Structure formats: structure tokens, C-alpha cells
Structure 1
């Protein structure tokens, strides 16, 4: 691809050309091509001047169990008034095989609004409901007026709350306003999904059934209830209050799955901090920079192409990680040490970062901050930097100082309803109480640049068209690289340990950290 740009952006693009080439076959977690990508990243880390971050190696092994549904031997039906209505897998609903669905389940269905319990905001969709032994059906989104990070965290903890109340399964109506249209997301149902082999890290334990409902098929589940699905979906998209009520139906599901072990890897390098002989030696504290290297592999063809290259998602973030490592190692050594980690299994549910957060290669207490980069989208001019989590910790001051030094405004997420703060690998660190942020190219809501971003998501997100042939703004990538490095330097050299803000919900996750 011919382009003009900063030398660093040229190097950045060269890494993407390697990682997102068709020969890499979409870097599916555990695939031979993913291992080739991991070895490449390890070589680049070594070449940049990093030390191995997993003992004597750059590679941290991660074990998974993969599952794939066998639709020919699977079926789901609605039972209502003595009649059975068979549902079509892929058309009416999909089965989430990240969950170890039971071979056979028959249970009543209950509608529980958004399926959220947020005591600090006096919101409880489960109040007065008997969920014991039932499959809970919920709408996407959440009530307006609840901050995006708190709402997103509550959504991620939904099953934990349901399990406490005796539920055995979960059905979620897919959002018609989501990043991926049903026509595309349903194609992914035949791809393998994964869980960590370490059962102590399984956040879906106890679920016998988990599925996603096509919003256009939702009326089938509400038939006979006296309520229509479409007004409820429309209300959910606006964040309006939702009722909760029993549905006059049961689910009967027979689920057949193939499963097999998968071995994959995180790639970890360390840039040691500058040791001090005074009382302020911070070299034994670590700032973690993360980006996921996996993507979706090879899937059902879309417009004749079946390789999901993942150039922006997230070869771009890994390439940026490599270039920031190179620049940091070539410059003045910071006070704190810096860990660079390319994680596996993000597309499988943030699994590689969850594994590292629970099995860190340095003392857990020594990790003071995380900066994650996932699909930062340099497809528009960079006029500002979005920092997800800006309102949550004092890392905001570091980001703003870095932005001011380069004349770039640092802003909060203009689309808070997308809940980006807990949708990528930074969330694995957040749950351990580590102040975290993620970075993206900024835009003004409803601007032409915003429309470009929305078109990119609609046309290229989780699609084969996220490839090397798409338009890229190299000046934007070069500026992002410089700003990313400045933020890292600010955090790595600050005299005090980063902390959550006093009013941040996430502060409670690690009260000893502050």
C-alpha cells in the first residue's frame, strides 16, 4: 500500500502486513498461525531490547478447552400450552458454547428486564421474582442514568447474580443497534469457542443453557404473555424502565457439542525500570501495556472471503505495542518497569488477559496500572484521543499532561452506551483492582469522522474486509504512537502509585490499593 507517513508509522504498518496477511489465516487462538504470530512478536520484542517476561522465555503457555456445537444433533423448542414450536438455530437464536451447556435442559422462561441488580443505583430487575430452576430472558443495554463503566461491569457480572438466585440459564435478545448485524454474528455460531482449562477461572459455571435471540424472532418467546417484544426492545434501546414477568413458555433444548484441548500463548516482554539507590526506587513496580493478538480465524464466507484477517482488530494494536516497546527501549529509561504483553483469547472472552491477571509473571501487588490498546482505528484524522476510564482514576491527569504536550485533547468516550471500558482486556486488570485505561482515536459525536467509524464497524468489524486493503490514516497512527509513548512515560515516572478516584465504583475491587 502506497502512503506517506512517519517512519514509525511505516514500521507499524509492516508489522500489520505480517500479522494480517492471508497466510496467517486470521490468527485463531491455538492455531499454528497464531503460534507463528506469537513467535514473530517475541522476536520483535527481543529486537526492541525487551527481556523475556515469562521466566527465561517470552512465551506464557495458556491452556483452553474448545467447543463447537453440532447442529445436526442439537435442537431447541418452545413449549407452550401443550404445543411444541421448534426454533431454527442460526435464524431464531444461537447457542453460546463458551458455556458448557447441558446435553438436555427443560425449564420455564422468565423475563427479567435488563437482568441487572445494581444496589448502589437502587436498580433490581430481580425484585420479587422466583428465578430458581428457570432460564432468564433479558434485553440488551441498561437503564439510562447509570454510568457506562458501572453498567458494563454489572452486565458482565449478570450470571453471577443470576446463579445466586438459582437460575440455570440465560437468554439475551441481541441488540439491533449492535456493532455486528445478526446476519453476520449468526454465521460465527459454527466457529469454535473456548474456555480456560483452569476451572477456577470459569465465570459461567452452573449454566445449563445460554443463547442469544435474533431480535426479529423475539416475538416467539413473548407469545401468549400479553406483552409484545418489539416495544420492549425499543424501550431497552432508549434505556427506559422495563417490567419483569413470567413467560407462559418453557425451553426444551438438546445440545450436542464437540470439545477438544487447545494450547495457546501470551507473549510477554519486560523493559526494566531505572534502579535508584535512594528511597524512591520504583523499578520493582510495573506498568502493563496490553493488546490482543488473536482474531477469528477462518469462517463462513462473506462476499467470497472467508479469512478474518483482523488488521485493525487487533494487529494494529499489537503493532503499536511493538513500536512503543522499540521507542521506549531506545529512549531514557523510566523509573518503573514496563511489561508489554500480547494476549491470546480476547475474542473468546478476554481469556488470555484473564489468565495473566490471575497468573502474573511478576508479583501481583507490583502491577500498578494497565494501558490497553484494542482496535484504535486510525481510519480518521486524529484530532483527539479517547481514553476509556478517564473518569475512574488519577491516570486521567497523566493522559491529559501527555495530550497537552502534543497539542491533542484527551476526551471521554463520546459513545458511553457502548460500554467500551469493560469490553476488552483492560477489564481483566480492572477486576483485580488495577487502575486501567484504554486508548482510541478520538472523534466528535455525530461528526463526519463519527460516521466513518460507524461505517467501519458496520462493514468491517468481525468481517473478512478488516484486511490489508482498507484505507488507513498513517499520520493518525504516527501521532497515536507518539501520544501512547508519552502517556506511558508519564505513568511510569510519576512519583505516586496510581489510584482509583474516591467516587469510582471500581475502587471497591481492591480497597488496599486506594
Structure 2
């Protein structure tokens, strides 16, 4: 009982609301880190939506800290790399979705049952047959092809998100990100995607609220990975059964097969889908913020380690009631704060680093990793001289730091630097305990990977199904992409300081190592290394 009471008191001390902690005895490093978050996640920045005045104000703040830390401007306009976007908003009252079965129209209720993916340039009107294609995956490395033998010409595919568990994590992650390329090659014109409830970070009732936020694409057709897709829809798994009526299958059957790791059937749906999509479009400009700490080694100073974190968040909800500002304190003001404190620490370092370090605060991560995609394709330093990327996105200091989850740990010899840094502080490096979430391809490091650059992403670690894991899952369910990711939420300041400390050690190790990082010989991603040497 005494131990239980002590644990409860400790939890109350650690996880009290942060404004209460600010007034208590937190140390100077924690306070410095927290001050950045307080500025970036303040209501006055209105959620830092890409292209907004709040984002511009946040970018200016980052640039000013870079300058004061002694970094050199690394953008195309001083510290800024200016990027043009096209934004789209759904006009839902003029849009509709329906199944057409045996001449009857079966309406699909927008919001409650489905949402349009307006990152896709949806056709204003479309009607087409539907085919269920399982996971809709093609993985040439394993001779796995859900599309083999199917007639998909001018058809819309219905698929379950995810992948078979026997496909290794790196291949599973990569080929899910490449899904449309193979569907387009097979003749498909649209995608209806059902997420497996088991893998949903955000409940449908919350995620549907974001459908009125603007979607964006880069104003550069060469970087559009959805070209040719005429319909994109996300389906509520709780109301999807109507699609399977008359097919000889049910969605309940499909879910049971997937959850029991058995193959999924493929079959025609006994209906067509009809959609009317009305959007408004506009052009806007946003900015990556780039600062460079020059190295001092005569040879290695021309090589660059890129440290990235995304600056943007979701902006302001269109809902009429309640807290409407998506402050994004953990996602990802926390990562930007770590970037800024690292710049300050390295600027004060008496012994200069051998390699140069690029500090990159990217825009439009929430719009589809667009800011990092732009930088990876149009870097402001020579592309062949970018030797590594370390990304921080929502590292979640919710409990004491005893290990670091390293997405990409098995893929390159960056692991050597990570483990050396960890050994000095007693921190263990662990692989992603949730590979099924495909996190390695869902944040900004993956745009560097696809350009041949060894990359990792770091988060505070936990063991799967542990109490810490439950804490993380609860945070995702309640606060991820929600206005409650704000300055009032509980957090562990000591864990944040420990994270920043080991992050700094990792950066120092990578910047001073004698040879540039290399992909491991057995890494799936080694195949991309050729790209950065041949593509301007």
C-alpha cells in the first residue's frame, strides 16, 4: 500500500498540467525547451497551418533563434526556402457519394460514413464499377501481387488498409506508400480505402471533423504522386458492410481474415460507385526554415547532416463549438523546440563539429510530407553531400526515458552512432515495437530515404503492451490531431530534457564520424542510394 501511494504521488507530480509545472521547480534546460513550445503552440498562432499568418510568425521565430545561435542562412531567401502550394477545400453541401445497385441509389452519408480525400484531384463527377482488391498491394521483391489477374481497367478499387504480416516491415511500409503507382498501372481510376479499426490512431468520430480543413499539393506537377487518380475516399469501417452486400462476402469476414493473418479474397462488388465532388481551390506560399552550422574539417565540412522537424500543424477547426484551435504542442512544437535547443547548444560548443549541420524546420508535413519532399528534391545544399537525416516528430515525453525507439535502426550504420551515444547515458536503442503502423514512411525522414540518404526518426521508447505503451495509445486516441494537444496537457519534463541530451550526443557523433553513413548491405532501402548520385 505504501508503494502504491508513493507511485500515485509521483504520478501526480510528474503528470500535472504543464502550466502548474511551469510554476514549480523545473530545471533551466526544461524551461528553455518549454518556452519555445509556449510560443509556437500559443493560440495567437492559430494552429500554424501551412501558409497561414500563424505559420509565418512561427517560421520567423525559428529563423530568429537560428540567427541568434550563430547559424548561417540556408534558404533561398535568407533563412527561408519559399514553396508554392495549391490548396483545396471540399464544398460538402454540393458533393455526394452513393452506391448504384440494381438501378437503385444507396446514399453514402458524407462525414458519418465516408470522407473525400481532396489531396487527390478528384473528378467533378464519376461513376464506375467497384472491385475489392484485398490490401491492393504489389510487392515485387516477394512476388506478391493483390492485383494479379484482376480486370481493373477504368474501375474503382475498394481495399483494406494495411498489409500481410509475413511481408517484412520495410517492404510493407514502402509499398503501401507506392500503392497508387501499381493501381494506376493496372488501370484503376480511384480508391475507396477502409482502415482496419485495429490500426486506427484516431477514432472516426474525431477524424471526420478534419475533412473541412484544406488539403494541399505542391505546385509542381513533377512531384504529384497521385496523378491520374480521379477519386479518393476514406470509408468508416463501422458502416462499410453495405458495400459487400450481394458479393458473397462480408466486411466482418474480411476483418476476421485480416486479423487472423489469413489471405484476403478479391472479387467484384455488385454495385458501382457514383460521386460528385465540389472543391474550391487557391494558391498560397509557405516556408521551410533552414539554418546551417558550418563544419570545420577541411574535407568533411562539405558534407551535411540534416536535422529535421516539422513546424506546421492543422490550423483551426471549422466546427462551431468548443476549442477550435489545433495548437500542436506535442505535434510538433516539441520537436521544433528540440531542434532550437540543439542549435543553441552547438552554437556554444567550444570544439566545433567536423561536418556541417543543416537545421531544417519543414512546412506542410500535415499535408502529406510536402515541405520535406520539396527540400529533398530541391535542397539548398549539394544533394550528393547530404550524408544523413535525423528527424524528430512528436517524440512524446509522457514517462521517463529509458530507451529510444529508432525507426530505421536496422537499415544503416547510423545505428553505431546511436548506440555509442546511448551507452554514454545508459539509454537503450530499440526497434519500432509497432511496425504495423508504418511509421517509418509516415514522417519527413522518408523523403530523404527515397532520395538515397540514410535516415532515422527518434521517439521516447516503450515495450509493446506495457503501461507506457498504453499511455502512448491513450494519448493518440484522445489528443493526436485534436485541440487538446495544447499547453495544458500533462508531460514529463525530465524525459524531455533527457531526450534533448541524447539527441545532442547523437548529432555530435554523426557530425564527427570519419566516414559518411552507409546503408547496410541487407537493407531494402539501399537501392535508393543510387538516386542521390544521379538525380539533380
Q: Please report the TM-score for the alignment, with normalisation by the length of structure 2.
A: 0.93
Note the C-alpha offset of 1:303.
7.6
Determine the structure 2 residue equivalent to 1:186: 208
Classify 1:169/1:486 alpha carbon distance in 2 versus 1 (closer, same or farther; 3 Å).
same
Classify 1:431/1:302 alpha carbon distance in 2 versus 1 (closer, same or farther; 3 Å).
farther
Determine the structure 1 residue equivalent to 2:307: 289
Residue 403 (str. 1) matches residue 427 (str. 2): no
Classify 1:333/1:385 alpha carbon distance in 2 versus 1 (closer, same or farther; 3 Å).
same
Residue 133 (str. 1) matches residue 154 (str. 2): yes
CA RMSD of aligned residues (A): 1.4
In the alignment, is the contact (CA less than 8 A) between 2:112 and 2:236 conserved in 1?
Answer: yes
Residue 485 (str. 1) matches residue 485 (str. 2): no
Structure 1 residues 18-66: Cα deviation after superposition (integer angstroms, max 9, x where no partner): 0001111111111101000000000011111111001460011011100
Secondary structure class of the residue paired with 1:347: coil
Note the C-alpha offset of 1:148.
2.0
In the alignment, is the contact (CA less than 8 A) between 1:141 and 1:239 conserved in 2?
Answer: no
Determine the structure 1 residue equivalent to 2:176: 155
Note the C-alpha offset of 1:134.
0.7
**Superposed counterparts of 1:3-152, under 5 Å:** 3-55=24-76, 57-152=78-173
Determine the structure 1 residue equivalent to 2:12: none
User: Structure 1 CA distance, aligned partners of 2:531 and 2:279?
Assistant: 43
Classify 1:237/1:269 alpha carbon distance in 2 versus 1 (closer, same or farther; 3 Å).
farther
In the alignment, is the contact (CA less than 8 A) between 1:163 and 1:206 conserved in 2?
Answer: yes
Determine the structure 2 residue equivalent to 1:313: 331
Determine the structure 2 residue equivalent to 1:363: 382
Structure 1 residues 375-400: Cα deviation after superposition (integer angstroms, max 9, x where no partner): 00001111111111001111111101
Structure 1 residues 224-257: Cα deviation after superposition (integer angstroms, max 9, x where no partner): 1010012212332444311111111111111110
Note the C-alpha offset of 1:216.
1.0
Structure 1 residues 96-150: Cα deviation after superposition (integer angstroms, max 9, x where no partner): 0001101111111111101101121231101111111111111021101222222
Structure 1 residues 380-434: Cα deviation after superposition (integer angstroms, max 9, x where no partner): 1111111110011111111011100111111111111111111100011011011
In the alignment, is the contact (CA less than 8 A) between 1:287 and 1:370 conserved in 2?
Answer: yes
Determine the structure 1 residue equivalent to 2:400: 381
In the alignment, is the contact (CA less than 8 A) between 2:49 and 2:314 conserved in 1?
Answer: yes
In the alignment, is the contact (CA less than 8 A) between 1:144 and 1:238 conserved in 2?
Answer: no
Note the C-alpha offset of 1:513.
7.0
Determine the structure 1 residue equivalent to 2:342: 324
Secondary structure class of the residue paired with 2:166: coil
User: Structure 2 CA distance, aligned partners of 1:106 and 1:502?
Assistant: 47
In the alignment, is the contact (CA less than 8 A) between 1:51 and 1:271 conserved in 2?
Answer: yes
After superposing the two structures, state which structure 1 stretch, 503-512 or 115-124, moved more. Answer: 503-512
In the alignment, is the contact (CA less than 8 A) between 1:29 and 1:295 conserved in 2?
Answer: yes
Gaps of 5+ in 2: 1-18
Q: 227, 235, 239: which is aligned to 1:217? A: 239
**Superposed counterparts of 1:335-484, under 5 Å:** 335-484=354-503
In the alignment, is the contact (CA less than 8 A) between 2:404 and 2:427 conserved in 1?
Answer: yes
Secondary structure class of the residue paired with 2:197: coil
In the alignment, is the contact (CA less than 8 A) between 1:291 and 1:341 conserved in 2?
Answer: yes
Classify 1:5/1:122 alpha carbon distance in 2 versus 1 (closer, same or farther; 3 Å).
farther
Secondary structure class of the residue paired with 1:346: coil
Secondary structure class of the residue paired with 1:511: helix
How many residue pairs match? The answer is 510
In the alignment, is the contact (CA less than 8 A) between 2:318 and 2:324 conserved in 1?
Answer: yes
User: Structure 1 CA distance, aligned partners of 2:422 and 2:267?
Assistant: 49
Structure 1 residues 40-93: Cα deviation after superposition (integer angstroms, max 9, x where no partner): 000011111111001460011011100011111111111111111111111111
Note the C-alpha offset of 1:512.
6.9
Determine the structure 1 residue equivalent to 2:284: 262
**Superposed counterparts of 1:475-514, under 5 Å:** 475-511=494-530
In the alignment, is the contact (CA less than 8 A) between 1:98 and 1:195 conserved in 2?
Answer: yes
Gaps of 5+ in 1: none
Secondary structure class of the residue paired with 1:138: strand
In the alignment, is the contact (CA less than 8 A) between 2:309 and 2:336 conserved in 1?
Answer: yes
Classify 1:474/1:274 alpha carbon distance in 2 versus 1 (closer, same or farther; 3 Å).
same
